[in-house]
Structure 1
Amino acid sequence: MNWIYDPWPWYVAGPLIALTMFLLLIVGKKFGMSSPLRTTCSAFGAGKAAGFFKFDWKAERWNLIVVLGAIIGGFIASNFMSDNTVKIHPDVAQKLADEYQITSAGEAYLPNEIFSIDSLRNPSSIAILVIGGFLVGFGARYAGGCTSGHAISGLSNLQLPSLIAVIGFFIGGLVMVHFLFPLIF
């Protein structure tokens, strides 16, 4: 096993996640990405445009470290610890090529047909990004947190609302993949 390029086994990654959650529990913090992103937006002045961002972000400035860590960690992982491909089953790659003309599946981390600069020239791609971004933001706000916050932090603290939210996230993902995605593409 090449520990740099291969996914970490569950018996390494799982205890590291548990240790992180335990440390956050000790210091009275919760894990998620929607709160750190809200803090970042507030720090950059978004409170002038929306009341949601009007709060004392300096009291939550530790969230800025979470955002910075996610950016730096993502950069390190994608540039030094990955070959930037996703291993998918050949049948799935063939179905994507046949039904959706996505031929780069399994060859690139993100399919170029959807996530390239050229695809942004298509007005429908921009509309999908804007609508999708709005729905994700609305869903995270309505659910009281994002998928990582509920699935990792909420479930590890045995919170029933987080279990309900995670079930909703999975149902929404299944509906998107099996019903909405074929209609959009």
Structure 2
Amino acid sequence: MALLLYFGKTFGMSSNLETMCSIAGAGKFINFFKFNWRESTWNLVVVLGAIIGGFIAKYILSNDTIMDINPKTVQELNQLGFNKVGETIVPNEIFGFEAMTSTHGIIILIVGGLLVGFGTRYAGGCTSGHAILGLSSLQKQSLIAVIGFFIGGLIMTNFILPYII
């Protein structure tokens, strides 16, 4: 982080998505993506690291141990329609191939993607950028953004998600 701050570089997944869109030619259609993407290619290592890290976590570091979850939480999740709670890291009812390729799943992915993209642009960065780089450099706007991310997550989890599932 100290080196990123010293050299005035940004860090976060949304910066990488912006760079990838520019590489793909989005700058021909949208002025936002018209920039010298070659200056940001170093940051694509973050994407590669996330992919490699996810692979290592899933296929090398994980085991088949069932997670010990509070029985009340299991009961609440069962009422929402989740089966085999704690047997997988993420619920197959949301993240399984069948769920994501259904009409309902595709609509959720598209709407969710648009909302995340809008929110990231509106907040001037993503959760990783604000929470890691922004907070470490004591940026007030990052503190406000991170508080907003947490409030939004709590609202989504407790009030909106039960109606979507």
TM-score by structure 1 length? 0.80
CA distance in 2, matches of 1:60, 1:169: 25
Deviation at residue 133 of structure 1 after TM alignment: 0.9
Q: Which residue identity lines up with residue 76 of structure 2 in the other structure?
A: K
In the alignment, does 2:77 pair up with 1:96? yes
The residue number in structure 2 matching 1:66 is 46
The residue number in structure 2 matching 1:32 is 12
Give yes or no for contact 1:84–1:109 (8 Å, CA) kept in 2. Answer: no
Query: Residues 22-171 of structure 1: matches in 2 within 5 Å?
Result: 22-83=2-63, 87=67, 88-97=69-78, 99-171=79-151
In the alignment, does 2:147 pair up with 1:178? no
Per-residue CA shift, 1:45-82, capped at 9, x if unaligned? 23334332221100111112221121112212221122
What residue ranges of structure 1 are gaps of 5+ in the alignment? 1-20
Give yes or no for contact 2:11–2:43 (8 Å, CA) kept in 1. Answer: no
Q: 1:82 to 1:118 in 2, by over 3 A?
A: same
Identity of aligned residues (%): 59
Give yes or no for contact 1:41–1:53 (8 Å, CA) kept in 2. Answer: yes
Deviation at residue 84 of structure 1 after TM alignment: 7.1
What residue ranges of structure 2 are gaps of 5+ in the alignment? none
Q: Which residue identity lines up with residue 140 of structure 1 in the other structure?
A: T
* Aligned-pair Cα RMSD in Å: 1.9
CA distance in 1, matches of 2:71, 2:28: 50
